[in-house]
């Protein structure tokens, strides 16, 4: 434990609601350090709690991790409804999933984000197909044009 810290020293502060990159002063000056460069995430995973009862703890964990680590991002995919976590690699994200299990006692299901594919007709095409199948019993018949 220390009573004060001076310029250039790196210290840890407990019990203060803050985020990475916050600037602290004694209150007599209004200085703010320039924000640090944060690289864009390189990998994403879909994650959700297995039990619906643990949704509150799950959200609490993700919010805390996002405040602690500026390279960890959380988002909700509006099309699929999945919670997507993004970070600097597979190990980075695996550590956070494990911390959710260990610190918040929430089992989470992890997988690849779903991608909604969109196809559209770009030109007219001629097509005619006749399907006939008779192999005992009721047969199948269909025609597509």
**SS3 for 66?**
helix
Range of the domain at 105: 43-111
**Per-residue confidence (pLDDT) for residue 19, from 0 to 100:** 73
Compute the half-sphere exposure of residue 103: CA atoms within 13 Å on the CB side of its CA.
13
Q: Tell me the DSSP string of 71-97.
A: T-EEEE-TTT--EEEEESSHHHHHHHH
Position with higher pLDDT, 9 vs 32: 9
With beta carbons less than 8 A apart as the criterion, state whether 83 and 47 touch. Answer: yes
**SS3 for 55?**
helix
**Per-residue confidence (pLDDT) for residue 34, from 0 to 100:** 77
Task: Domain count for the chain, please give it.
Answer: 1
**Residue 105 domain-assigned (yes or no):** yes
Q: What is the CATH number of the domain that holds 67?
A: 3.30.70.870
**Residue 50 domain-assigned (yes or no):** yes
With beta carbons less than 8 A apart as the criterion, state whether 127 and 121 touch. Answer: no
Q: What are the b/e assignments for 91-117, b being 16+ CB within 10 Å?
A: ebbeebbeebeeebebebeeeebeeee
**Residue 67 domain-assigned (yes or no):** yes
Which pLDDT tens digit goes with each residue over 74-123? 999 998 889 999 999 999 999 999 999 999 999 999 999 887 777 888 88
**Per-residue confidence (pLDDT) for residue 60, from 0 to 100:** 94
């Amino acid at each position: 434990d220390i009573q004060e810290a001076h310029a250039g020293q790196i210290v840890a502060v407990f019990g203060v609601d803050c985020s990475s990159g916050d600037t602290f002063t004694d209150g007599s000056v209004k200085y703010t350090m320039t924000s640090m460069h944060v690289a864009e995430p390189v990998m994403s995973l879909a994650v959700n709690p297995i039990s619906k009862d643990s949704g509150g703890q799950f959200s609490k964990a993700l919010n805390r991790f996002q405040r602690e680590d500026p390279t960890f991002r959380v988002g909700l995919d509006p099309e699929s409804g999945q919670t997507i976590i993004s970070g600097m690699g597979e190990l980075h994200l695996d550590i956070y999933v494990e911390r959710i299990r260990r610190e918040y006692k929430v089992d989470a299901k992890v997988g690849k984000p779903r991608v909604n594919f969109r196809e559209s007709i770009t030109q007219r095409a001629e097509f005619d197909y006749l399907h006939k199948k008779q192999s005992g019993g009721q047969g199948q018949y269909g025609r597509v044009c």
